[in-house]
């Protein structure tokens, strides 16, 4: 079993990852086991969302998808507001006017 998970950090930001040991991974984030991790200076963290998958590839695919979502869409996921997630998924983004 593999998990995609979302943590709410002390500064209000979200962190998304995947693991094969959800409880242990959340503990590692809160202990600051990996100093280079985004969550290290944003502790404590709280598990806000998790979903299990049968394969690592599926969990990783969902992690990448959620990482691309807006903050509003991530917050809707935490609330379990599927109609809002759907609505936000239909919002047209304006193309960038910058170069590069």
Please provide the average confidence, as pLDDT, over all residues in the chain: 92
Rounded Cα distance between 6 and 77, Å, is: 10
pLDDT tens for each residue of 83-95: 999 999 886 665 5
State pTM to two decimals: 0.87
- Whether the pLDDT of residue 59 is over 50: the answer is yes
Distances (CA, A) of 20 to 24, 35, 39: 9, 21, 19
- Domain range list for the chain: 2-84
Whole-number pLDDT of residue 58 = 98
Give the integer Cα–Cα distance in Å for 100 and 93.
Answer: 17
DSSP assigned state of 11? T
Tokens at 62, concatenated: 């969902």
Could you please state the CATH topology (level 3) that the domain comprising 2-84 is classified under: GIY-YIG endonuclease (3.40.1440)
């Amino acid at each position: 079993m593999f998990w995609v998970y979302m943590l709410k950090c002390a500064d209000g930001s979200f962190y998304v990852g995947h693991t094969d040991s959800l409880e242990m991974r959340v503990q590692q984030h809160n202990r600051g086991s990996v100093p280079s991790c985004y969550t290290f200076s944003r502790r404590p963290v709280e598990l806000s969302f998790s979903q299990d998958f049968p394969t690592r590839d599926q969990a990783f695919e969902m992690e990448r998808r959620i990482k691309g979502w807006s903050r509003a869409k991530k917050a809707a996921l935490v609330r379990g507001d599927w109609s809002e997630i759907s609505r936000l998924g239909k919002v047209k983004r304006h193309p960038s006017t910058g170069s590069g």
